[in-house]
Structure 1
Amino acid sequence: MGMEVAFEEKEFLACCGSNLFAKEMAAVAPFSSIEAAIAAARDIWFNKVDVNGWLEAFAAHPQIGQSPSPNHKSEISAQWSKGEQSTAMETATDSTLQELSEWNVRYWKKFGFVFLICASGRSTTEILVEVKKRYPNRPIVEFEIAAEEQMKIIELRLAKLFSSKERSALSGDQNSAIITKKVEDRVSIIRAHLTAASEGSASKASKIPVRTRPPITTHVLDVSQGFPAPGMEVLLEIWRGSQPRPTFGGSDESSWVRQGFSTTDKDGRSGQLMSIVDSVNPGIYKISFNTGKYCPGGFFPYVSIVFEIKESQKLEHFHVPLLFSPFSFSTYRGS
């Protein structure tokens, strides 16, 4: 994007229901690119918004199976939430809606906030499976997952805003109906990576799971369109060379050992690149994206991101997303 894009505070509030977040974002706007906006948003969300602000943002989401309240603080956000739940409502029966309502209440009583999940394209039955899988989690685990997923919501909704601003600048008001439709369709990805589940079964109820997902995950966002990037091939490798780490300028590609391969789904999420293990092997990892196949006219035939997991980090989670456009890309270490 070649020019700075201005937003109003209410637009940031549509991305995140925390008033402090919206105020802080408005204070540092405008932004020259979606990457700059996301970088600012991550800093504000994790370093300036407190726990009360997190809970305020969670509370802005209606429970799955329910419509936003009439006094919802953001009309745009309410529209997105409605679109998000469309598939669930279309596939619902009286019995599944009743069961979902009961699980929403049970989840709320345990964790103190609504159950958040990427609902677009999911049936009510699929959502029920997920809430049952995540319910055994410790409250602190769920709270951290929710905070990370809210950041993904922010990230993707910012992309929608940037996309709509660009389209409006190019074509004026005639695109308003198209933008509204795209907003409703794309809101499905706002919770793109909620896959938490208990590793223990009923027979292992006494064991508290450490992992709820593979230790290394990724997603791809096509920031040039404000959409997730479906159908992009992703490869995860680990360094197994004679030296403890690859050297700058080295060319021993045979020393990289394949760990997993997948293709991103409609929400830009990669499939499982490795097993769900409590402790990941420390070492140098490389995650590569086949950007040339996804975008044949772009500048990058592929993109590789090399990162290190230290011994002291082997119990942590590493989310390494790719924010991609035909002539630029960026990444960050999520969790």
Structure 2
Amino acid sequence: MELSFEDKDLFVCCGSAKFARKMASAGPFRSYADAVSAARDIWFNQVDVNAWLEAFSAHPAIGQTASPAQSKNNTSAQWSKGEQSTALATASGSILQELSEWNVLYRQKFGFVFLICASGRTSSEILVELKNRYQNRPIVEFQVAAEEQMKITELRLAKLLSGKDHASSASDDTNMIGVAKKSEEDRVSIISGHLTAGLKSPPSEALQRTTRSRPPITTHVLDVSQGHPGRGIEVHLEKWRQDRPRPAFYGLNTSGWDTLGSSITDKDGRSGPLMNTVDAVEPGLYRISFNTGKYCPGGFFPSVSIVFEIRETQRLEHFHVPLLLSPFSFSTYRGS
């Protein structure tokens, strides 16, 4: 089965006219994997900076339903709404206000809208990521935003392919989750499962990028004083920079840590993804920090940090590092 697209269809997936034209010319494609491979090559190697900015401008700010560029494109607006459905469903008035304020700060610094593949992510998780990425240098953030745009493009290509095989439009990401029967944490698995149901063909080996179903480092918080999960706690994961000398005591030096990810614990006390899902984790020193002072203002610990080491022989293992917390004590252990 060969897959071909028109410019207008591809423009819905990625709001760059130059990208859409080049993708349409590159087809037809033998499979979804071939289409994604072509899309990545065109996006990162063949279009210019103006094409990136054009695509960025086609997205609404997080918390809005449509961008000005989407006002005449109902499909794009519907897909944006579906991609933000989890964030909007979990957003309080105060979080929406804070998102709006940080969106303004972000645009003032970088010159374009904050772009993130929002599918399945709560408003709190997105807010933490927004604050974290605001610290980036502009040249770094420009590349990060381009990567996020490609994630969105891949998801929308999957919807577009499903739409060619089904009369109904896949405009709500919850439908994709139901078809794939997998977690939103594994974006590739979602697309693979969606295409298996929609195109009646097995997923390409190109989609099997990792055998893990979750990141290699995870955590959760248990409030042992209350006997329930620690909900709404900000969590950060960092790694000690390999180009920095190894100190005898890591608590005395804070300048050698690079942030890998941040999240907010959910109703079960579990954090969202703190790093990418990869087969082999890099050996080295890691630190997980918890904003316990905000969770327990009257407690003894304004924050808690857990430093641990992953050795070369442990690259393929999973590391679950939970926090057992009370107002005046805490403990942890190496889980799996």
TM-score bracket relative to the smaller structure? 0.5 to 0.7
Q: Which amino acid aligns with 1:91?
A: T
- Deviation digits for residues 55-80 of structure 1 (CA, Å, limit 9, x no counterpart): 11111110001120465153222111
Equivalent positions of 1:36-47 (< 5 A) are 36-47=34-45
The 1:71–1:263 alpha-carbon spacing in structure 2 relative to 1, beyond 3 Å, is: closer
Equivalent positions of 1:284-299 (< 5 A) are none
Which residue, 168, 180, 187 being the options, matches 2:170? 180
TM-score of the aligned structures, taking structure 1 as reference length: 0.55
Contact residue 96 and residue 124 of structure 1 kept, 8 A: yes
Aligned partners of 1:48 and 1:183: how far apart in 2? Answer: 29
Contact residue 10 and residue 74 of structure 1 kept, 8 A: no
Q: Which amino acid aligns with 1:40?
A: A
Match of 2:161 in 1: 162
Give the stretch that moved more between structures: 64-73 or 94-103: 64-73
Question: Tell me, which stretches of 5 or more residues in structure 1 are unaligned?
Answer: 188-194, 196-216, 236-261, 265-269, 281-303, 307-335
Aligned partners of 2:44 and 2:171: how far apart in 1? Answer: 31
- Deviation digits for residues 179-228 of structure 1 (CA, Å, limit 9, x no counterpart): 435556449xxxxxxx9xxxxxxxxxxxxxxxxxxxxx995455363389
**Cα displacement (A) at 1:120:** 3.1
Aligned partners of 2:83 and 2:90: how far apart in 1? Answer: 13
The 1:185–1:132 alpha-carbon spacing in structure 2 relative to 1, beyond 3 Å, is: farther
Aligned partners of 1:21 and 1:278: how far apart in 2? Answer: 37
The 1:182–1:56 alpha-carbon spacing in structure 2 relative to 1, beyond 3 Å, is: same
Match of 2:94 in 1: 95
Match of 1:223 in 2: 192
The 1:89–1:45 alpha-carbon spacing in structure 2 relative to 1, beyond 3 Å, is: same
Which residue, 8, 11, 14 being the options, matches 2:12? 14
Contact residue 38 and residue 155 of structure 1 kept, 8 A: yes
Equivalent positions of 1:230-249 (< 5 A) are none
Aligned partners of 2:95 and 2:193: how far apart in 1? Answer: 39
Aligned partners of 1:94 and 1:305: how far apart in 2? Answer: 39
The 1:134–1:272 alpha-carbon spacing in structure 2 relative to 1, beyond 3 Å, is: same
Q: Which amino acid aligns with 2:90?
A: T
Match of 1:278 in 2: 241
Question: Tell me, which stretches of 5 or more residues in structure 2 are unaligned?
Answer: 178-184, 198-202, 219-236, 244-277, 281-336
- Deviation digits for residues 90-115 of structure 1 (CA, Å, limit 9, x no counterpart): 23232222111110000110111111
Match of 1:83 in 2: 82
Match of 2:125 in 1: 126
Q: Which amino acid aligns with 1:57?
A: A
- Deviation digits for residues 25-77 of structure 1 (CA, Å, limit 9, x no counterpart): 11122211111111211121112210000011111110001120465153222
2:108 equivalent to 1:109? yes
Q: Report the aligned-residue RMSD.
A: 3.5
Q: Which amino acid aligns with 2:137?
A: R
The 1:276–1:156 alpha-carbon spacing in structure 2 relative to 1, beyond 3 Å, is: farther
Aligned partners of 1:128 and 1:6: how far apart in 2? Answer: 38
Aligned partners of 1:5 and 1:53: how far apart in 2? Answer: 24
**Cα displacement (A) at 1:84:** 1.7
Total equivalences in the alignment: 211
Contact residue 83 and residue 185 of structure 1 kept, 8 A: no
Match of 2:65 in 1: 67
**Cα displacement (A) at 1:133:** 1.5
Aligned partners of 1:9 and 1:106: how far apart in 2? Answer: 34
Q: Which amino acid aligns with 2:61?
A: Q
Contact residue 155 and residue 191 of structure 2 kept, 8 A: no
Contact residue 18 and residue 47 of structure 2 kept, 8 A: yes
2:213 equivalent to 1:263? yes
Aligned partners of 1:51 and 1:279: how far apart in 2? Answer: 32
Contact residue 4 and residue 29 of structure 2 kept, 8 A: yes
